[in-house]
Structure 1
Amino acid sequence: MAGNTHGNRSAVTCHLRCGDACFQEVPNTTETSYFRDVAASALSRRTLLGASAAAATTALVATTPAAASPGRGAGARAAARTSALAFSPIPPVPASVDDVSVPAGYRWDAILRWGDPIFAKAPEFDQDNQSAAAQAQQFGYNCDYLDIIVTDRKGTRAQLVTNHEYTNENIMFPPGTDPAEVVRIAWAAHGMSVVELRRRHAGDVWKYDRTGRTNRRITLETPMTFDGPAAGSTLLQTAEDPRGMRVRGTMNNCAGGTTPWGTVLSGEENFNQYFKAGGTDPREKRYGLSANGDSRNWRSVDSRWDAVSNPNEPNRFGWIVEVDPSDPRSTPVKHTAMGRFKHEGAHVIVNGDGRVVAYMGDDERFDYVYRFVSRDTYRAGSSKKDLAHNKTLLSAGDLSVARFTGDGLEDGVSDGAGEWIPLTVDGESVVPGFTTEEVLVFTRLAADVVQPTKMDRPEDVEPNFVNGFVYVACTNNSDRGKVGKEGATEPNPRNLNKDGHVVEMMPTRGDHTADTFAWNLILICGGPETAGTYFGGWTGPVSPISCPDNVTFDSEGNLWVSTDGQPGTLKLSDGLFKVPVAGPERGRVQQFLGVPRDAETCGPVIHDRDGSVFVAVQHPGEDGTWGAHTSHFPDFVPAGTTPRRGQFAGPRPSVVQVTRR
């Protein structure tokens, strides 16, 4: 989710999505370097990147286990071959189009929609008779991170795993719905879903199976545990949980990642918007908590959301949560060793020495990129003992934060250098004035002390398993030039950064645990006519692109970028774009898909060898109301007619599969 992208949204809608960040000063007011300053220096001496040279300079040390789950990253983990997803780029889609737009020769199908029953005895969706009990057995709202994990050799069975980030009450409920029940339904609509899929033949459209053994809903009432150095800390203890070891539920789950051992990581992002806080504690302010930040008024139903009387309750959110989708009885774990901030997600790669490395972005204006390196090493076996060991890898290790500099290599391969500044070493704090528990619970404040580089809202940070590089989607920052004394003005779009950019990071010698890295700006987004745009050296026609949000890769290592914010910047629908990162077409942006009105494109999954692309269509029609829906995707019930059983008169967040006709 692009947490602070206003675009042309109403204040109410923006608050529901973004929390306090849209209405207050930027939480990070420390005096550290800004990425725009570094980038400006780098761009002034940019030389055209030679893709073959870039690949040659990195002796890849990182490896990927052969036993890795064949889901989201399966294609990228294998050797390159001819893509089964050849397509002609679609033309830019006007923001008013209420449909999924795909290339000629392709079709789209909604394989799961908000409210679809995912258990054998779950009730059918009924828009006029919703309840929390029913929602807890139905597919949740606003799907974000997504993976399709194929579970058999024939390619006919799979698990769909997705996050449910937040709810749009303004378009979900008919007038007169009991306010307390609205809150409880919202709790049940948050969290995650695990749903089994089936099909007759590989390459077919998937159908969900409501009798699947591993089907599961994870909500704000699901019991979870803390692990790692901060588990049991006094900073996590509450009256409900005096030991600080267990917590009810997860919320505002944005992006995530699928681990090599088959579990799924989910990032808790804009948790601040659910709490009423005192508004005077600097630690609260740094996380966007405020006295008037809880427009949902959940505290009227459960006092846990009143941070004035329960000051530690917000500390129990903002973590990376690990879920085992193969075991519906397993207890999700919040990993304190990975730090607490507004996690977009976490993506794991196995380093050459066997340790696992997770990359993470803090989705806030002027916040940071983080890296976690495990203490222990990965086991490639598939036994229960191996799985149990691997599920502990994110429980102990070291956290660091990135500093970018612009005075690096001058060989035409890199635009700069960087270093990882440690926050913990051997599991212990190295930040002056911070205990280990404080570093992990108040990670933003600890990072401020060591002066990393302030970034323009780093969202997805994901390694490419083909070239070993890491790609950071910096979605935008409309406050660039307003904070500090840099003096940028709106006519310079690179200062008031409305369109975002993508950073390409290259670990030194291909070692993801190295202290240093090199970096490029592979994309500086906008329309081709926008001043300052850059498309990886490609100078031919490109699809306009703005506000990069999530990234992923296909089996050839091509970058795929989903966007959130184009209606407000380019007056175009958000979409999914393919961008080669090597060869003569490096940087050529080609739009594959456009999403319906008011929606953003989330959770892209590229199964190119299967001829399939998946996206999560989030918040379609979010700017409407119950009486005036702006979208009718995907049921397309005509306005003024009564929907059939299981349908909805307005929009439904959905998972879409795109295949050849």
Structure 2
Amino acid sequence: MRRLLPLLSTKPHAGGRSALTCRYRCGDACFQEVPNTSDNEYAGDIIASALSRRSMVRAAAVVTVASAAGAAVLGGPASGQAVAAPLDHPGQKPGKGGRLDGARGLRFEPVAPNKKDKVTVPPGYGQNIVIRWGDPILRGAPAFNAAKQTAKAQAGQFGYNNDFLSLLPLRGERGRQVLVANHEYTDEILMFRGYDPEKPTREQVEIAWAAHGLSVVVVEEERRTGSLTAVSRHHLNRRLTATSLFEMTGPAAGSPLLRTSTDRSGIKVRGTLNNCAGGETPWGTTLHGEENFNQYFANGGSDTDKRYGIVAGPSDRKWERFDKRFDAKREPNESHRFGWVVELDPYDADFVPRKRTALGRFKHEAAAPRLTEDGRPVVYMGDDERFDYFYKFVSSKRMKKGNSRAAREHNLTLLDHGTLYVAKLSADSPQDIDGSGKLPNDGEFDGSGVWIPLATDDTSHVPGMTADEVYVFTRLAGDKVGATKMDRPEDVEPSPRTGRVYLALTNNTDRGKPGKPGADEANPRNLNKHGQILELAENWDDPAGDGFAWRLFLVAGDPKDPSTYFAGFPKDRVSPISCPDNVAFDPHGNLWISTDGNQLGSHDGLFGVATHGERRGELKQFLTVPIGAETCGPVIQDRRVLVAVQHPGEVDGASVEKPASAWPDGRGKMVRPSVVAVWPKDGSNIGV
């Protein structure tokens, strides 16, 4: 008999998530003790006098940042205090009436908040399902059959719970592109009829292993509508799963901390787990962040296990019963081989994906690169945990242009050499922060910061830790150097127009609770339900520098709530938004935001917001997703938008026998996570 309800927490859950989502997505992370028990100062405590003279000089040295609206000088006042002058803030002008009012790229009628069991898009837009969980993509893979699932079939089919999406050009095949998708996690209760969480079968576990990982699938556009369809059995199509071969590279590869009884080399790894968001590199590869990997491991006991959230008892999925590598007591180093950024070459079907140790190990939501003026990659990364940190990596090698074999081989080494940093923020007006979200007297939540080096290649910059320890236990390194505790740093994206970096801080309902850090200027609300987006500016020509200016671009929530902020734009002209998660840019420089766990009584959705010009801060909702679903992986092109509709129907009490949603195929059909394309019906570009 299936036992479900006693295993699910009855406590209120973070954001608008169901207990089912919390359990299977992140192992009820919000109900575990906060892993970060360090006594690091938070931004409200850090004033210039507390920083070293060297750090102050670095922070004040941040200079001109180019932007579409003009140049803004960032630097400290004459006293040398490490704070930032305002970035550009042009006056806001009321827009003209009419349906197409808005910033360029955002001229559509906003979708109203709703609870419909469908993907709701603006008037004048069409949509189609690009690919569903279980659709065959490899030669020989069968069509999806909910009643006859097998691990072998799933290994050739599109995986479960699609998250990050990348859509890349495919030279020589007109109208076709390469779609790369992450498959974050499995929800066995919604996958298998009669599933017993206490007694999973080997076949169910092996299907789940095959449903994790990554998919590469070629897609073809229908020129008249903008719809996309998957091309099954293309030679570039791939499935990479929890048992596929991956390779550790970089300074920690081969470390004793990464060796196991089945891999004495510390280099060859089976699988990738909990791939959340990601990024695209200028040299044509994709990056994939391994996030809540801890939940798959059982019987953790070490201090490092606790810092990474590995439980002391059995895991929820019970995988340790079928493979000892998921038992931390029997294989204490296996979990060290997860929590990395994975690099994949989608254009090479034989490429062995690489886990880049130089980028550190933590709960990677994403990894977003840009180039310095001299061609070195700078990668920004968030650690999605309450009170954890924001990082960047600066390569010491320059990218080679072109598509020659030599250039590609060289560029595939760029993320193995360089310096890993963690962010420490200082506040401009700490005395004005009371936890309510009220703006400081200077009219902005802003300040400056420094990037603290953790390790460069084989050299550690953290006293008491070797370089291997810094890379494998990066959270502990951040603790030691006093990094700033943030409200769940998730996806991050540099603007291709201005170089400014936008970091989604999803929420943190623990902030300000007894014994927990209180509000600060970067995280200005206690019991933070709705989250915020931080805007960071470095020298456009030298993002490899170690000083920066920052301010909050958005403070999310109901615009009628006085604690919300939309970059100074009139709040009576924006859509409500809660729990920003994934972010992406469109061709016009607008930031698009998908949400996870909406706390405002509506389904999650996708939003566009202007980042520059007189409409900076103008935010509009573009779509909503079905019951129980989360909006993931947005891709914004000229003529279409792609979203990954993750965990539809994942609400408390739902199961295969009692589905909570009829999406995407109607009643009586299996609820299936899917990728959706949206386009203007008249053939025009998005929002123009």
Q: Give yes or no for the alignment of 1:275 onto 2:297.
A: yes
Q: Tell me the matched-pair count.
A: 607
SS of the aligned residue for 2:25 comes to helix
Q: Give yes or no for the alignment of 1:318 onto 2:333.
A: no
Name 2:241's counterpart in structure 1: 219
Q: Give yes or no for the alignment of 1:590 onto 2:611.
A: no
Give CA deviations for 1:382-441 in whole Å, capped at 9, x if unaligned. 211101100100011110000111139999898211110000135410100000000000
CA gap 1:432/1:114 in 2 versus in 1, 3 angstroms: same
SS of the aligned residue for 1:437 comes to helix
Name 2:547's counterpart in structure 1: 516
SS of the aligned residue for 2:27 comes to helix
CA gap 1:275/1:283 in 2 versus in 1, 3 angstroms: same
Q: Distance in 2 between matches of 1:509 and 1:198?
A: 37
- Equivalent pair of 2:18/2:650 in contact (CA under 8 Å): no
Using the TM superposition, give the Cα deviation of residue 480 of structure 1 relative to its aligned residue in structure 2, in angstroms.
0.6
Q: Among residues 147, 157, 178, which one is paired with 1:159 in the alignment?
A: 178
- Equivalent pair of 1:34/1:366 in contact (CA under 8 Å): no
Amino acid corresponding to residue 586 of structure 1 in structure 2: R
Q: Distance in 1 between matches of 2:679 and 2:340?
A: 35
CA gap 1:166/1:151 in 2 versus in 1, 3 angstroms: same
Name 2:34's counterpart in structure 1: 26
SS of the aligned residue for 2:146 comes to coil
Q: How does 1:155-554 map to 2 (within 5 A)?
A: 156-175=175-194, 179-201=201-223, 204-279=226-301, 281-292=302-313, 294-407=315-428, 415-425=446-456, 427-482=458-513, 484=515, 494-508=525-539, 510-539=541-570, 540-554=572-586
Amino acid corresponding to residue 620 of structure 2 in structure 1: Q
Q: Among residues 116, 120, 125, which one is paired with 1:101 in the alignment?
A: 120
Q: Give yes or no for the alignment of 1:17 onto 2:25.
A: yes
Using the TM superposition, give the Cα deviation of residue 210 of structure 1 relative to its aligned residue in structure 2, in angstroms.
0.7
- Equivalent pair of 2:391/2:421 in contact (CA under 8 Å): yes
Using the TM superposition, give the Cα deviation of residue 494 of structure 1 relative to its aligned residue in structure 2, in angstroms.
1.5
Q: TM-score, normalised by structure 1?
A: 0.88
Amino acid corresponding to residue 137 of structure 1 in structure 2: G
Q: Distance in 2 between matches of 1:557 and 1:501?
A: 19
Name 1:655's counterpart in structure 2: 675
- Equivalent pair of 1:5/1:476 in contact (CA under 8 Å): no
Q: Distance in 2 between matches of 1:630 and 1:380?
A: 50
Q: Distance in 1 between matches of 2:213 and 2:382?
A: 20
Q: Distance in 1 between matches of 2:66 and 2:284?
A: 32
Amino acid corresponding to residue 185 of structure 2 in structure 1: Y
List gaps (5 residues or longer) in structure 1: 40-49, 60-81, 640-648
- Equivalent pair of 1:564/1:574 in contact (CA under 8 Å): yes
- Equivalent pair of 2:17/2:597 in contact (CA under 8 Å): no
CA gap 1:52/1:371 in 2 versus in 1, 3 angstroms: closer
Q: Distance in 1 between matches of 2:214 and 2:464?
A: 37
Name 1:79's counterpart in structure 2: none
Give CA deviations for 1:248-297 in whole Å, capped at 9, x if unaligned. 01010000111111111100000110011233x21110000111361100
Amino acid corresponding to residue 504 of structure 1 in structure 2: E
Give CA deviations for 1:186-240 in whole Å, capped at 9, x if unaligned. 0000000000112353862111111211000000111111111111111000001
Q: Distance in 2 between matches of 1:402 and 1:493?
A: 17
Q: Among residues 581, 590, 597, which one is paired with 1:558 in the alignment?
A: 590
Name 2:99's counterpart in structure 1: none
- Equivalent pair of 1:505/1:517 in contact (CA under 8 Å): yes
CA gap 1:170/1:118 in 2 versus in 1, 3 angstroms: same
Q: Distance in 1 between matches of 2:233 and 2:16?
A: 42
Give CA deviations for 1:613-648 in whole Å, capped at 9, x if unaligned. 000000001121122101121111x24xxxxxxxxx
- Equivalent pair of 1:274/1:305 in contact (CA under 8 Å): yes
Q: Distance in 2 between matches of 1:215 and 1:35?
A: 46
Using the TM superposition, give the Cα deviation of residue 34 of structure 1 relative to its aligned residue in structure 2, in angstroms.
2.7
- Equivalent pair of 2:295/2:316 in contact (CA under 8 Å): yes
Give CA deviations for 1:503-530 in whole Å, capped at 9, x if unaligned. 0000035421011010110100000122
- Equivalent pair of 1:476/1:498 in contact (CA under 8 Å): yes
Name 2:645's counterpart in structure 1: 617
Name 1:7's counterpart in structure 2: 15
Q: Distance in 1 between matches of 2:449 and 2:69?
A: 17
SS of the aligned residue for 2:178 comes to strand
- Equivalent pair of 1:493/1:531 in contact (CA under 8 Å): no
- Equivalent pair of 1:5/1:565 in contact (CA under 8 Å): no
Q: Distance in 2 between matches of 1:398 and 1:485?
A: 31
CA gap 1:582/1:493 in 2 versus in 1, 3 angstroms: closer
Q: Distance in 1 between matches of 2:187 and 2:517?
A: 37
Q: Among residues 138, 141, 150, which one is paired with 1:122 in the alignment?
A: 141
Using the TM superposition, give the Cα deviation of residue 324 of structure 1 relative to its aligned residue in structure 2, in angstroms.
0.6
- Equivalent pair of 1:253/1:267 in contact (CA under 8 Å): yes
Q: Distance in 2 between matches of 1:579 and 1:155?
A: 32
CA gap 1:108/1:425 in 2 versus in 1, 3 angstroms: same
- Equivalent pair of 1:468/1:510 in contact (CA under 8 Å): no
Q: Distance in 2 between matches of 1:295 and 1:559?
A: 37
Q: Distance in 1 between matches of 2:371 and 2:279?
A: 13
Using the TM superposition, give the Cα deviation of residue 19 of structure 1 relative to its aligned residue in structure 2, in angstroms.
1.8
Q: Distance in 1 between matches of 2:587 and 2:195?
A: 50
Q: Distance in 2 between matches of 1:586 and 1:153?
A: 39
Q: Distance in 1 between matches of 2:550 and 2:73?
A: 12
Name 1:65's counterpart in structure 2: none
- Equivalent pair of 1:536/1:586 in contact (CA under 8 Å): yes
Q: Distance in 2 between matches of 1:146 and 1:12?
A: 24
Q: Give yes or no for the alignment of 1:626 onto 2:656.
A: yes
List gaps (5 residues or longer) in structure 2: 1-11, 48-64, 75-102, 431-440, 682-688
Amino acid corresponding to residue 285 of structure 1 in structure 2: K
Using the TM superposition, give the Cα deviation of residue 181 of structure 1 relative to its aligned residue in structure 2, in angstroms.
0.8
Q: Distance in 2 between matches of 1:413 and 1:55?
A: 20
Q: Among residues 140, 156, 170, which one is paired with 1:137 in the alignment?
A: 156
- Equivalent pair of 1:559/1:579 in contact (CA under 8 Å): yes
CA gap 1:52/1:221 in 2 versus in 1, 3 angstroms: closer
SS of the aligned residue for 2:396 comes to strand
Q: Give yes or no for the alignment of 1:581 onto 2:603.
A: no
- Equivalent pair of 1:402/1:420 in contact (CA under 8 Å): yes
CA gap 1:561/1:37 in 2 versus in 1, 3 angstroms: farther
CA gap 1:555/1:36 in 2 versus in 1, 3 angstroms: farther
Using the TM superposition, give the Cα deviation of residue 54 of structure 1 relative to its aligned residue in structure 2, in angstroms.
7.1
- Equivalent pair of 2:127/2:227 in contact (CA under 8 Å): no
CA gap 1:141/1:53 in 2 versus in 1, 3 angstroms: closer
Give aligned-pair identity as a percent.
Answer: 53
Q: Distance in 1 between matches of 2:20 and 2:124?
A: 39
SS of the aligned residue for 1:128 comes to helix
